[in-house]
């Protein structure tokens, strides 16, 4: 069995729930303030570790109360924190999140996450069969350094380019599997996309990013469209009642990485990750919502996974 290494952000999510989102310049009365461990890197690491796969997180925390709380939580989820450094002189990453009608808006203040550097990602020793995962809440040159090391070790590299920003070809060329949603696909390709577009339209946009890699476009309740050697594979989603979609994409990425590290074929891994994300959205919070392997297994054995077909 391979291991999963996640280089990424660790945040405390400060969540306000309200009946609706305020418009710009408007104040609305909220309902509750909640504190959840989050950050795309931490969420993905928790999602992987909870599938029973050895998972190491590489990142940074501030030396503040949030940092201590996040470290305690992540350790309790079974995430290896040997390469998570406490960093003096800065605060732990913090996300200010508003949730209304299951939809969120997020402002992330990186704090210590902005200081994750090439030396941090040089410390762990990766091997063939491992899976190296990253996202865009740590500096991009750090991700490049991480993926170069992973590639040299024979590990599979997985990039989730979220939150979306322009990325140069050199970094994309270090990626084996790119996982992104339709918004991120639009930013990276310059294509005008909307969530009601057909899978064929997403496949067409994803083709320009493929260049030898697998591209997976997550489509929320519609499932996921993967482009493998330029051939589209659609894995259907699961209809559930969402209460909070925060971290659902991270759940998908972490669960998929865990299954690839276990040697599962891509199609099975996509089905598994879809189910994991569908469980995640039925709970409040990001990292605490990640399902266990038993929970995913129960749905998997009770359901008939969607059939792959051309869009």
Q: Is 252 left (phi over 0), alpha (psi -120 to 50) or beta?
A: alpha
40 is an interface residue for ligand RIB by CB under 6 A: yes
Shortest distance (Å) from residue 99 CB to ligand RIB: 11
Among 43, 157, 258, 278, binds ligand RIB (CB under 6 A): 43
Q: Find all residues with CB under 8 Å of 194, minimum gap 6, and list them.
A: 182
Among 74, 131, 276, 286, binds ligand RIB (CB under 6 A): 286
184 is an interface residue for ligand RIB by CB under 6 A: no
2 is an interface residue for ligand RIB by CB under 6 A: no
48 is an interface residue for ligand RIB by CB under 6 A: no
Q: How many CB atoms lie within 10 A of CB 99?
A: 25
**Gyration radius of the chain over CA positions:** 18
158 is an interface residue for ligand RIB by CB under 6 A: no
User: Among all residues, which ones are annotated catalytic?
Assistant: 250
DSSP string for 244-263? --TTHHHHHHHHHHHHHHTT
DSSP 8-state class, residue 53: -
Q: Which of these ranges, 35-43, 54-62, 146-154, 218-226, lies near ligand RIB under the rule CB under 6 A?
A: 35-43
According to DSSP, the β-strands at 156-160 and 11-18 are unpaired
Q: Are the beta carbons of 216 and 259 closer than 8 angstroms? A: no
Shortest distance (Å) from residue 31 CB to ligand RIB: 19
Q: Are the beta carbons of 140 and 134 closer than 8 angstroms? A: no
| Count of residues in contact with ligand RIB, rule CB under 6 A | 16
Shortest distance (Å) from residue 129 CB to ligand RIB: 27
Among 246, 259, 274, 278, binds ligand RIB (CB under 6 A): 246
Q: Find all residues with CB under 8 Å of 177, minimum gap 6, and list them.
A: 156, 157, 158, 159, 213, 214, 215, 216, 256, 260
Partnered with residue 225 across adjacent β-strands are 217, 234
Q: Which of these ranges, 20-28, 32-40, 57-65, 236-244, lies near ligand RIB under the rule CB under 6 A?
A: 32-40
Choose among 139, 236, 124, 227: nearest CA to 176: 227
15 or 155: CB nearest ligand RIB: 15
38 is an interface residue for ligand RIB by CB under 6 A: yes
81 or 155: CB nearest ligand RIB: 81
111 or 199: CB nearest ligand RIB: 111
106 is an interface residue for ligand RIB by CB under 6 A: yes
50 or 149: CB nearest ligand RIB: 50
In whole angstroms, give the CA distance from residue 171 to residue 160: 12
Q: Which residues in this chain contact ligand RIB in the complex, by CB under 6 A?
A: 9, 11, 13, 38-40, 43, 95, 106, 108, 137, 246-247, 249-250, 286
């Amino acid at each position: 069995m391979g291991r999963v290494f996640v280089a990424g952000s660790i945040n405390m999510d400060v969540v306000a729930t309200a009946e609706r989102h305020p418009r710009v310049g408007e104040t609305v009365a909220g309902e509750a303030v909640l504190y959840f461990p989050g950050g795309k890197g931490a969420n993905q690491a928790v999602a992987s570790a909870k599938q029973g796969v050895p998972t190491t997180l590489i990142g940074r925390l501030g030396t503040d109360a949030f940092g201590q709380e996040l470290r305690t939580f992540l350790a309790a989820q079974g995430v290896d924190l040997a390469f998570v450094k406490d960093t003096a002189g800065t605060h732990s990453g913090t996300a200010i999140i508003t949730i209304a009608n299951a939809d969120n808006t997020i402002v992330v203040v990186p704090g210590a996450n902005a200081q994750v550097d090439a030396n941090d990602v040089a410390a762990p020793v990766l091997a063939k069969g491992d899976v190296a995962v990253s996202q865009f809440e740590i500096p991009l040159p750090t991700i490049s350094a991480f993926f170069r090391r992973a590639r040299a070790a024979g590990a599979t590299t997985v990039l989730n380019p979220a939150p979306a920003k322009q990325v140069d070809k050199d970094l994309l060329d270090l990626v084996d599997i790119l996982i992104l949603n339709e918004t991120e696909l639009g930013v990276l390709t310059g294509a005008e996309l909307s969530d009601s577009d057909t899978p064929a339209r997403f496949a067409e946009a994803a083709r320009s990013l493929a260049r030898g890699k697998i591209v997976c476009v997550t489509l929320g309740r519609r499932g996921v469209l993967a482009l493998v050697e330029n051939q589209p594979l659609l894995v259907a989603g699961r209809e559930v009642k969402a209460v909070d979609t925060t971290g659902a994409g991270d759940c998908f990425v972490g669960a998929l990485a865990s299954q690839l590290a276990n040697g599962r074929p891509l199609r099975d891994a996509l089905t598994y990750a879809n189910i994991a994300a569908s469980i995640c959205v039925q709970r409040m919070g990001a990292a605490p919502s990640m399902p266990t392997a038993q929970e995913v297994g129960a749905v998997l054995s009770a359901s008939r996974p969607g059939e792959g077909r051309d869009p």
